[in-house]
Structure formats: C-alpha cells, structure tokens
C-alpha cells in the first residue's frame, strides 16, 4: 500500500497551505483597506472629523474622475513619475558604483569614510535651496534632489555588504589565479544581490521624498505641485487625491522591485 506521506504529497500539501495562508492574509488586508475608507467616509458624513480639512473618499474619487477626464491628472502624474524613476535610477546606480570604487581601493575608502558619515548624518532636504540656486529652478534640480537623497545611504549599505563577503570564497578564487575584477564579478557582486535589492526597496521611498521636496520648492507641474497648490487654495480634497495617487504609483514601483528580486533569486 502506497504511503500518503510521500515527498510529492507532502510538497503538494505544503504548497496548498502556503496558498491558503496567502488568501487569508489578502482577506485581512482587504478588510483593513475597506474598513479604513468606510470609517473615513462615515466620520466625514457624521462630522466626527472636519469634512473641509479631511475631505472624504467619495469626494476624492469624484475629483479623481474629474481630473482624469480633463487630462490634467495624467500629465502631472507622468511628470512626477518620470522624475522619480530617473532620480531612483541615478541614485541607485551612483551608489553602487561608488561602493564598488570604495571596495576596489581601501585607500580611497579610508579617505572618504569620515565624509560619508557626515553626509549620511546631514538632512539631504536641506540641500534643496542650494541645488536650486546651483542648477536652476527646474527639472534638473528636482532630479538632483531625487538622486542625492539616496546616493550616500546606498553607498554605505552596499559597501558594507561588499566587505562582509566571506573571505573563503575570495581565497578559493585567488587560488585559481582570479584577478580583482574577477573576484568582484564572480563573488562579491553576486553575494551582495540581496542587499542591493533591499537598497532598491528603500530607495523607492527616498526618491519620492526627494522629488516631492524638489517639486514643493520649484515645480509648476507634478503631484508635489498639486499638494502645495491644494494647501494654498485650501482644497484638501486635491491634497488627498495627490497623496492617494502617490501611494498607488509608489506601490507599483515597490512591486516592480519585488518582481526583480524574484527573478534574481530564481536566476541565482
């Protein structure tokens, strides 16, 4: 008689349990999501909160439909998303390259170490006015703000990961005559993929912060501009609409990084 506890059966039961757990988690997430907006709408209608300041989900959806119909929403979203993605890519790539330079040259690492510590401690958003004066009140300064806010932390995190690669891997490669370039390509960089992915996830949020600050200061277009304009004219429904769209787009970017992570893990 064939046992019910064969590896194939156990694997199927495990996969089934995982799918069931995911459904349960998704159900609770949906309940929390729907409950939040239901409570918000109810509180606004019953004046538990000031509807002028806190608006309501139905008002936000109505304004969303209005802005989508006249096309103004898509133009503002497109500008901000482009600035954020560009700042995200520049900040991440520059951080990885700088980390690679520090790993390659211990002398440069020793020289720059105190400066990296100071720059990491400095609030990057305070550099906004300086960037605007230096680069001009336009697209370039916003991109620079979105990039600079993530470069230093990316460099520090990834460089630390490079240094923590097991020396035994490097010794084995050196035994076979591997060059420093080959050490980096075959051992250091692949071993740091999980940390790089984690840095990407963090940089999604940091890039949005940098771009929003830049748009607050100089932009006449974009979601950051809509937030500031909404405050100026006391239209808080417009503010909540902008925040809602930012949350959606940021979530999409985060999921894209998660998809990249799965592909890299599968490849490895």
Let me know if 264 is exposed, middle or buried by CB neighbors in 10 A (0-12, 13-18, 19+).
middle
Name the DSSP class of 222: S
CA-based max dimension of the chain: 81
Which residue has 């799965």 as its token pair? 262
Task: Determine contact, residues 107/162, Cβ cutoff 8 Å.
Answer: no
Average pLDDT, the chain: 87
CATH fold label, 56-267: MetI-like fold (1.10.3720)
Confidence grade of residue 5 (pLDDT, cut at 50, 70, 90): low
Per-residue confidence (pLDDT) for residue 9, from 0 to 100? 81
Per-residue confidence (pLDDT) for residue 138, from 0 to 100? 79
Q: Does residue 46 surpass a pLDDT of 50? A: yes
Per-residue confidence (pLDDT) for residue 150, from 0 to 100? 87
User: What does the alpha-carbon distance between residue 237 and residue 188 come to, in Å, rounded to a whole number?
Assistant: 49
Task: Determine contact, residues 152/120, Cβ cutoff 8 Å.
Answer: yes
Let me know if 97 is exposed, middle or buried by CB neighbors in 10 A (0-12, 13-18, 19+).
middle
Per-residue confidence (pLDDT) for residue 125, from 0 to 100? 77
User: What does the alpha-carbon distance between residue 61 and residue 16 come to, in Å, rounded to a whole number?
Assistant: 38
User: What does the alpha-carbon distance between residue 29 and residue 15 come to, in Å, rounded to a whole number?
Assistant: 21
Task: Determine contact, residues 129/145, Cβ cutoff 8 Å.
Answer: no
Per-residue confidence (pLDDT) for residue 243, from 0 to 100? 92
**Least confident window among 39-53, 121-135, 244-258:** 121-135
Q: Does residue 2 surpass a pLDDT of 60? A: no
Confidence grade of residue 128 (pLDDT, cut at 50, 70, 90): confident
pTM: 0.84
| CA 16 centroid distance within chain | 32
User: What does the alpha-carbon distance between residue 236 and residue 224 come to, in Å, rounded to a whole number?
Assistant: 13
How many CB atoms sit inside 10 A of residue 98's CB? 20
- The per-residue pLDDT for range 195-222, each reduced to its tens digit, is 888 888 888 888 898 898 888 888 788 8
Domain extents in the chain: 1-49, 56-267
Calculate mean pLDDT across residues 238-260: 90
Calculate mean pLDDT across residues 146-172: 88
Calculate what percentage of the chain has a pLDDT beyond 90. 40
User: What does the alpha-carbon distance between residue 160 and residue 93 come to, in Å, rounded to a whole number?
Assistant: 16
Calculate mean pLDDT across residues 43-54: 91
Tokens standing for residue 40? 């918000």
Nearest CA to 213 out of 152, 122, 143, 155 is that of 143
Per-residue confidence (pLDDT) for residue 81, from 0 to 100? 92
User: What does the alpha-carbon distance between residue 248 and residue 90 come to, in Å, rounded to a whole number?
Assistant: 22
- The per-residue pLDDT for range 92-116, each reduced to its tens digit, is 999 999 999 999 999 999 999 899 8
Calculate mean pLDDT across residues 229-246: 92
Tokens standing for residue 263? 């592909």
Confidence grade of residue 1 (pLDDT, cut at 50, 70, 90): very low
Q: Does residue 47 surpass a pLDDT of 70? A: yes
Per-residue confidence (pLDDT) for residue 266, from 0 to 100? 61
């Amino acid at each position: 008689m064939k046992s019910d506890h064969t590896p194939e059966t156990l694997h199927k039961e495990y996969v089934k349990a995982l799918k069931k757990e995911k459904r349960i988690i998704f159900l609770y997430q949906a309940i929390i999501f729907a409950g939040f907006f239901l409570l918000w709408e109810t509180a606004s209608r019953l004046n538990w909160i000031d509807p002028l300041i806190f608006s309501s989900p139905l008002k936000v959806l109505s304004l969303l439909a209005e802005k989508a119909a006249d096309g103004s929403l898509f133009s503002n979203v497109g500008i901000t998303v482009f600035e954020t993605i560009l700042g995200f890519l520049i900040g991440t790539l520059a951080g990885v390259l700088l980390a690679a330079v520090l790993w390659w040259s211990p002398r440069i690492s020793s020289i720059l170490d105190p400066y990296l510590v100071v720059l990491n401690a400095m609030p990057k958003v305070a550099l906004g006015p300086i960037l605007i004066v230096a680069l001009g009140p336009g697209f370039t300064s916003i991109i620079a703000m979105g990039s600079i806010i993530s470069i230093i932390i990316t460099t520090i995190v990834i460089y630390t990961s490079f240094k923590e690669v097991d020396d035994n891997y490097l010794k084995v490669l050196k035994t076979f005559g591997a060059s420093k370039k080959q050490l980096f390509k075959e051992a250091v960089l692949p071993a740091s993929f999980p940390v790089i992915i984690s840095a990407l996830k963090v940089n999604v949020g940091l890039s949005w912060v940098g771009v929003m600050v830049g748009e607050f200061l100089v932009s006449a277009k974009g979601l950051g501009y809509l937030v500031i304009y909404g405050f100026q004219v006391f239209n808080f429904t417009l503010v909540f609409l902008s925040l809602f769209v930012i949350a959606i787009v940021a979530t999409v970017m985060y999921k894209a990084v998660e998809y990249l992570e799965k592909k890299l893990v599968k490849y490895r």
